[in-house]
């Protein structure tokens, strides 16, 4: 500093000298400096713009891939649903059609019986009374011939008439009673027919409902196949929902597995030792963890073999006979492991009581160190029950796990898209910032050069005026 | 080329197996407790039993524990009252603890007073025992008034190697003469502290037996 201000005896003069020198140098270097600033800012702007475009392109590619993944997943899910619906329809139709012949026979038989009974129940017109002919005969007798003894004839007629009437009445009553009996017998047949028809109605309604559901699913399937935006939106939101729900269920399952682990880790020390280490972890802990992992794996294979999940296409594609064998094998292994766990849980309780007794003894509370308690069996039974049930409960982890794995792809894709979009935006913003910073730097460069620039402008104006004057003189 | 690949595969397999092979726990503890049975101090042994039970409750699988008495010549395995290295199976370990407690209890009930006090010999025996066990942490508990009284002819002016050892004096009672001249008591403590720290060990004194939480 002293050197700078000491080049003349007067510091102010020295400072002025330096200012003039620097300003002069800056003025002379101005065009070059401006070009350098513009080039730097421009290159940064263009680079970031290029990067932004590249990231945007990557985002578009990822979005396309995510779209394809979503559509594929949605298509597969819909195919499964439709397939299942068709299976149900198939079952229903097979069941109903299998019974159709019997139903038809039953209905035909019932109708025949009703028809026969109906025919039998038709009212038979009573025979014309015999006295009509007698009356006709009496009417034809000449009055002269028949005067004698007519009252006797009429009396006989009266008797015959009364008798015939009584007989006809009795016959009519008997016939009516028989008809009523026949009609009464038809009643259960009608009910049977109505029940059969009701069953048919129910089956048909069920089939109609299924067909409506299949129609709806097929419509959605077509939307997915055609790649409609609405289908993508629905699948995307469903995927997010599935992801969070399955993550929640998996968290619960992890809690269950942790409880399971604590149930068997302590007694495992009795089997493999409590101080051996593998890779810095206790062998007993690793053994307990391996048992739980094997149980979960068996659960996965069981679910796969039952075709509830489809994580391993190889298992799903196995012939039914082998698949059923696999179901039994995995179930047996699971059952054995569950039994082992129940035993270990019992062992845990025994060890715990032993340890409590030893500690009590060491504390000098020997009388309190009783192994058996009145309610000890409750905790022991509870632990054994948990040890047995938890492996089977963990089997069902396969279902949320499958959903989690499938939805994870989409969720990761969506997260990647969001990240790439933000990166692209940032690149674009920073590119523009650099462009404006370049302009600002040019202006800031010119700021200390305001005197030479002002002089330059004045000279320029004067030269322009001089040129104009010369031009006018020339003309 | 093929031989090289096979060798590399074998080496990788050996490395993986070595990484997975079980190893013993390395943070185990070894405790050697010396019980002073000389003179009137033999009456304090019930307190020692309390400390031993507390120590037993704190020790875990693969730890080692030994209790030995201090008598006329303590540099001897015969003075060890009870010793054990705990099994890594919990049930066996509990059995060992109960048996150990029983042995100590029997000893306390039938302990005979000794005419001399060879603390240095006991410490030498403790060092030998714990070094042999190879535990990571080594602790020597001295339940004594720290008044060494050697029989004529016994040489105990020996350099101790207590590097990595914790030496804890417990229940250092004041003798009648200490009451007359407390400098004797303080001098005894200072002498032992100097001796232990010079030998590379760490020295502590615990006289409050109701608060043994920081013992191990």
Average pLDDT, chain B: 84
How many residues are given for chain B? 216
Based on the number of CB atoms within 10 Å of its own CB, is A406 exposed (0-12), middle (13-18) or buried (19 or more)? Answer: buried
Q: How do residues B123-180 score in pLDDT, each as one tens digit? A: 999 999 999 998 999 999 999 888 888 888 888 888 888 998 999 999 888 887 877 8
| Residue B6 in this model has a pLDDT that exceeds 80 | no
| DSSP letter (8 states) at residue B97 | H
Chain A residues with CB-CB distance to B under 8 A?
Answer: 266, 269-270, 273-279, 283, 351, 354-355, 357-359, 361-364
User: What's residue B60's pLDDT?
Assistant: 87
Phi/psi for B24 (5° steps) reads -75, 155
Domains, in order of start, for chain B: 29-206 (3.40.50.410)
| Residue B15 in this model has a pLDDT that exceeds 60 | no
Which whole-number Å values give the CA distances from A447 to A27, A41, A451, in the listed order? 11, 19, 9
Based on the number of CB atoms within 10 Å of its own CB, is B183 exposed (0-12), middle (13-18) or buried (19 or more)? Answer: exposed
Core vs surface per residue A115-124: b (16+ CB within 10 A) or e: eebeeebeee
Number of domains in chain A: 1
A279 contacts in B (CB within 8 Å)? 19-20
Nearest to B90 among A274, A278, A357 (CB): A274
pTM: 0.64
Contact A402, A309 (CB under 8 A): yes
Range of the structural domain that residue A390 is part of: 230-396
* Cα–Cα dist B126/B146, whole Å: 16
* Cα–Cα dist A428/A440, whole Å: 18
A4 contacts: CB under 8 Å, gap ≥ 6: A14, A15, A18
User: What's residue B14's pLDDT?
Assistant: 47
B24 contacts in A (CB within 8 Å)? 275-277
A311 inside domain: yes
A314 inside domain: yes
How many residues are given for chain A? 475
A302 inside domain: yes
A422 inside domain: no
Contact A41, A435 (CB under 8 A): yes
Q: Please give, rounded to a whole number of angstroms, the shortest distance from the CA of A339 to a CA of chain B.
A: 22
Q: How far is CA A441 from the centre of its chain?
A: 58
B91 contacts in A (CB within 8 Å)? 270, 351, 354
For A467, the token pair is 């040129």
**Does the structure's ipTM exceed the value 0.85?**
no
Which whole-number Å values give the CA distances from A54 to A50, A437, B111, in the listed order? 6, 23, 88
Contact A355, B90 (CB under 8 A): yes
The tens-digit pLDDT sequence of chain A (475 residues) is 777 777 778 888 888 889 999 999 999 999 999 999 999 999 999 999 999 999 999 999 998 888 888 888 888 888 888 888 888 888 878 777 777 777 778 788 878 878 877 777 766 655 555 556 666 666 666 555 555 566 777 777 778 778 888 888 888 888 888 888 877 877 787 888 888 888 888 888 888 888 888 888 888 888 888 878 788 888 888 888 999 999 999 999 999 999 999 889 888 888 888 777 888 888 889 999 999 999 999 999 999 999 888 888 888 888 989 999 999 999 999 999 999 999 999 998 888 888 888 888 888 775 554 555 677 788 889 989 999 999 999 999 999 999 999 889 889 988 999 999 999 999 999 999 999 999 999 999 999 889 889 999 999 999 988 888 877 776 6
A339 inside domain: yes
User: What's residue A441's pLDDT?
Assistant: 94
Tally the C-alpha atoms within 13 A of residue A129's C-alpha that lie toward its C-beta: 18
Which of A321-330, A376-385, B20-29, B74-83 is predicted least confidently? B20-29
B23 contacts A277? CB cut-off 8 A: yes
A351 contacts B98? CB cut-off 8 A: no
């Amino acid at each position: 500093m002293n050197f700078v201000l000491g080049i003349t005896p007067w510091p102010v003069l020295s400072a002025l000298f330096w200012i003039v020198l620097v300003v002069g140098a800056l003025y002379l270097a101005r065009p070059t400096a401006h070009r350098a600033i513009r080039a730097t800012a421009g290159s940064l702007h263009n680079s970031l713009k290029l990067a932004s475009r590249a990231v945007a392109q990557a985002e578009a590619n990822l979005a396309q891939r995510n779209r394809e993944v979503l559509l594929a997943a949605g298509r597969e899910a819909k195919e499964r649903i439709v397939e299942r619906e068709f299976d149900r329809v198939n079952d229903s139709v097979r069941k109903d059609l299998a019974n159709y012949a019997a139903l038809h026979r039953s209905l035909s038989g019932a109708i025949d019986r009703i028809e026969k009974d109906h025919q039998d129940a038709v009212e038979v017109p009573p025979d014309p009374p015999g006295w009509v002919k007698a009356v006709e005969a009496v009417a034809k007798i000449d009055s002269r011939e028949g005067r004698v003894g007519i009252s006797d004839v009429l009396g006989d007629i009266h008797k015959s008439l009364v008798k015939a009437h009584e007989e006809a009445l009795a016959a009519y009553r008997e016939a009516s009673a028989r008809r009523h009996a026949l009609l009464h017998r038809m009643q259960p047949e009608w009910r049977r027919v109505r029940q059969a028809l009701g069953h048919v109605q129910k089956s048909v309604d069920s089939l109609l409902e299924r067909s409506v559901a299949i129609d709806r699913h097929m419509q959605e399937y077509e939307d997915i196949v055609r790649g409609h935006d609405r289908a993508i939106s629905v699948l995307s939101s469903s995927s997010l929902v599935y992801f969070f729900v399955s993550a929640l269920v998996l968290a619960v399952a992890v809690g269950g597995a942790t409880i399971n682990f604590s149930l068997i880790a302590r007694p495992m020390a009795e089997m493999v030792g409590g101080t051996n280490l593998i890779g810095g972890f206790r062998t007993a802990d690793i053994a307990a963890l391996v048992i739980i992992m094997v149980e979960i794996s068996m659960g996965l294979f069981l679910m796969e073999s039952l075709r509830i999940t489809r994580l391993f296409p190889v298992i799903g594609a196995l012939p039914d006979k082998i698949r059923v064998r696999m179901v039994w094998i995995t179930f047996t292994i699971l059952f054995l492991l569950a039994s082992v766990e129940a035993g270990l849980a019992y062992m845990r309780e025994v060890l715990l009581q032993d340890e409590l007794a030893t500690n009590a003894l060491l504390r000098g509370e020997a009388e309190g160190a009783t192994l058996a308690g009145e309610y000890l069996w409750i905790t022991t039974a509870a632990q054994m029950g948990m040890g047995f049930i938890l492996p089977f409960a963990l089997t069902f982890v396969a279902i949320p796990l499958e959903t989690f794995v499938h939805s994870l792809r989409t969720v990761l894709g969506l997260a990647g898209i969001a990240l790439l979009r933000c990166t692209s935006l940032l690149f674009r913003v920073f590119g523009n910032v650099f462009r404006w910073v370049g302009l600002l730097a040019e202006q800031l460069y010119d700021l200390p050069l305001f005197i030479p620039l002002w002089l330059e402008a004045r000279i320029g104006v004067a030269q322009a005026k001089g040129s104009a004057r010369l031009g006018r003189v020339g003309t | 080329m093929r031989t090289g690949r096979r060798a590399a595969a074998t080496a990788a397999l050996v490395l993986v197996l070595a990484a997975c092979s079980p190893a013993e726990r390395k943070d185990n503890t070894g405790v050697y407790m010396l019980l002073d049975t000389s003179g009137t101090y033999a009456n304090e042994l019930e307190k020692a039993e309390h400390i031993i039970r507390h120590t037993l409750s704190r020790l875990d699988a693969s730890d080692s524990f030994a209790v030995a008495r201090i008598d006329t010549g303590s540099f001897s395995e015969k003075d060890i009252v009870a010793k054990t290295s705990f099994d890594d199976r919990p049930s066996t370990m509990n059995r060992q603890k109960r048996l150990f407690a029983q042995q100590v209890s029997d000893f306390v009930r039938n302990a005979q007073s000794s005419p001399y006090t060879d603390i240095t010999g006991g410490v030498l025996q403790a060092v030998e025992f714990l070094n042999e066990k190879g535990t990571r942490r080594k602790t020597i508990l001295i339940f004594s008034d720290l008044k060494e009284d050697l029989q004529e002819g016994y040489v105990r002016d020996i350099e101790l190697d207590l590097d990595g050892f914790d030496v804890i004096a417990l229940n250092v009672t004041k003798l009648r003469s200490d009451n007359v001249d407390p400098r004797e008591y303080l001098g005894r403590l200072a002498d032992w502290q100097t001796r232990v720290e010079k030998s590379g060990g760490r020295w502590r004194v615990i006289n409050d037996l109701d608060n043994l939480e920081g013992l191990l």
